[in-house]
A = this chain, B = another copy of it.
């Protein structure tokens, strides 16, 4: 069986028991849906009845203004949950879309309860994940608000690479990079043309190697430096290790 990215990610925070991992594995098989690039997982205004979990492919949260301008608000990678809020809020205030082909597990409310009740470690880890997502969102505000084009794109690449690593989806210095420059533009608030030029600048300075759907970062520390990337906000420092004793 292919390694479970959600388990990998949550174990950044805490150790999970075999039982915990089993419950997570079961959750990821129930009710799988497939989407083509460009399709919506959920559209703004909808009232989803299930929690969607990304199994494979890249998605995004996005908001569209009336006049068509579109901002990608977050990237969703394998192991990411789309809409935990449904237990409290009614309607979606944004959309979730597929950037590549997408495999999605649909967890019913019951399936989700089964996952959390009786698995306090999993519950805590999902909490941690939700709070980290909040921190990522804050960092995006900083990114778009304060950084220039080079820093902005560089920062985004750093973040995606580190997140992929934490789910076991990146090699030592490279990862799949299946999205278009238009997607990067929508996420950074830049124009496609300028993203293109910015990527070339990153390439020419040797900070990235981006060809086809593969991204390599020969010197991550260097890219982090020019992008003013500080990984603190991802809280990958095994915050939950104080729980380990309770195994």
Q: What is A's interface to B at a CB cutoff of 8 Å?
A: 44-45, 61, 63, 65-67, 69-71, 73-74, 85, 88-91, 93-94, 124, 127-128, 131-132, 134-135, 137-142, 144-147, 188-189, 228, 232-233, 235, 237, 239
Contacts and interface: CB of A to CB of B under 8 A. Distances in A.
Given A89-B131, A94-B138, A144-B145, 16 more contacts: A44-B232, A65-B142, A65-B228, A66-B228, A71-B146, A73-B138, A73-B141, A88-B127, A89-B132, A89-B235, A91-B232, A94-B233, A137-B141, A140-B141, A141-B144, A146-B189
A128 to B, nearest CB: 5
Given A93-B135, A93-B233, A141 B88 contact: no
A90 B145 CA distance: 26
Given A88-B131, A93-B232, A124-B88, A65 B146 contact: yes
Q: Name which of A66, A88, A124, A235 has the most chain B CB atoms within 10 A of its CB.
A: A88
How many chain copies?
A: 2
A127 to B, nearest CB: 5
A208 B108 CA distance: 47
Contacts of A44: 232
A239 B145 contact: no
A160 B74 CA distance: 24
Nearest to A230: B66
A142 B69 CA distance: 10
A71 B232 contact: no
Nearest to A135: B93
A142 B71 contact: yes
Contact of A137 (B66, B128, B138, B189): B138
Contact of A63 (B66, B74, B139, B239): B139
Contacts of A132: 89
Nearest to A138: B73
Contact of A141 (B70, B124, B141, B147): B141
Contact of A145 (B124, B138, B189): B189
A239 B88 contact: yes
A141 B90 contact: no
12 contacts: A45-B232, A63-B138, A63-B142, A65-B146, A69-B147, A74-B138, A88-B124, A88-B128, A89-B131, A94-B233, A145-B188, A146-B189
